[in-house]
Structure 1
Amino acid sequence: MDSKTAKKIKSKNTGIELLLRRELWKRGYRYRVNDRTVFGKPDIVFHKQKIAIFCDSEFWHGKKFLAGEQFKTNNEFWEAKIKRNIERDQEVNRILETEGWKVLRFWGIDIKNNVTQCINIIEERSIL
C-alpha cells in the first residue's frame, strides 16, 4: 500500500459505520459516535446502557487473515500489523467488559449484506 492509498483510508465515518448508524437512527435510537471518553473509542456508544459497538473492516481487523488468506506483498509487515490489530481488539473488549460494558462487533460485510440483522442482534443482546 502506498502513501496515496493510505491517505484515502478513513478511520471514522466509514461506509459501514454510516449504514449501521442510519438504520439505528431510523429506528429512533440515539447514540454517541467515536466517543473518546470510552476506552477504545467505539464507533457507536449508548452510554446509559453501556453498549459499545464496533464496525470492523475485514482487512484491518483480520477476518481474511484469520481465514488463512495471504498478503500479496510485504507479508511480514502486514501479518504483524494485522495480528497487533486483532490483539488490540481483544484487549479493548476485555477492558470494556471489565468496566461493565456490553461490546458488540460487526464485520463490514455483515453490515453491508444485512444491516437489519445487525440491528436485531443489537436489540437482542442489549437493553435498547
Structure 2
Amino acid sequence: MADIISPEQRSALMSRIRGKNTGIELEVRKGLHALGFRYRLGGAGLPGRPDIVLPRHRTVVFVHGCFWHLHDCHLFRWPKSRPEFWKKKIIANQERDRRSVGKLKDQGWKVETVWECELRGHPPAQRAEVILALAERIRKRGFG
C-alpha cells in the first residue's frame, strides 16, 4: 500500500518524534522524584542507555513507547506502508532491548520497564498508581 503523503512530508513527521524527554518519561521522572527518588538520566555507559538510573537502588528504568518496542497492547499496530521495513526495524529494536536487559542483569542491575500504554489515556489517579507500584518494586528490590 502506498503512503498517502510524500517521502519528504513523512520524513518531517518522523523527525519530530522524540526519543528523549517524552511526556511519559517526564511524568515517570517527576513521579519518582516526588516520592523521594534521586536518579541520573541517559544511562551513558550502560547497555541500552536506560532512561532513568537509580544508582542507590542499583536499578535502571526504561520508559518504552509501545510502537517502537513492539508491545502487545492496543497502542501497537503494524504500519500498512512499507511493512517489510517496519517489521525488520521493530524486531531489531526488540532484540536489542533483550540483549541490553541481559547485559544489565549480568552487571548486577535490576531492570524495570514502564510502557506507554500503562499511562497514556488513563486518568491521573490510575497513572499515579502505576508510578507508585514502580516505586514499590524499586524499593523492594533495591539496596537503599
Per the normalisation by structure 2, the TM-score is: 0.79
Unaligned runs of 5+ in 2: 1-6
Count of matched residue pairs: 127
User: Distance in 1 between the 2:128 and 2:41 partners?
Assistant: 18
1:122 aligned to 112, 126, 135, which one? 135
**Per-residue deviation at 1:17?**
0.3
Larger displacement relative to structure 2 (105-114 or 88-97): 105-114
Structure 1 gaps of 5+ residues are none
Alpha-carbon RMSD: 2.1
CA shift for structure 1 position 120:
1.6
Aligned residue for 2:57, secondary structure, equals coil
Q: Tell me the equivalent position of 1:95.
A: 103
1:33 to 19, 26, 41: 41
Structure 1 consecutive aligned stretches of length 4 or more whose deviation exceeds 4 Å: none
Preserved CA contact (<8 Å) 1:111 1:118 = no
Is the contact between residue 104 and residue 110 of structure 2 (CA under 8 Å) also seen in structure 1? yes
Q: Does 2:56 match 1:45?
A: no
Aligned-residue sequence identity (percent) comes to 32
Larger radius of gyration: 2
2:25 is equivalent to residue 17 of structure 1: yes
Q: Please state how far the C-alpha of 1:68 moved relative to its aligned partner.
A: 8.4
Could you tell me how far 1:109 is from its partner in structure 2?
Answer: 1.4
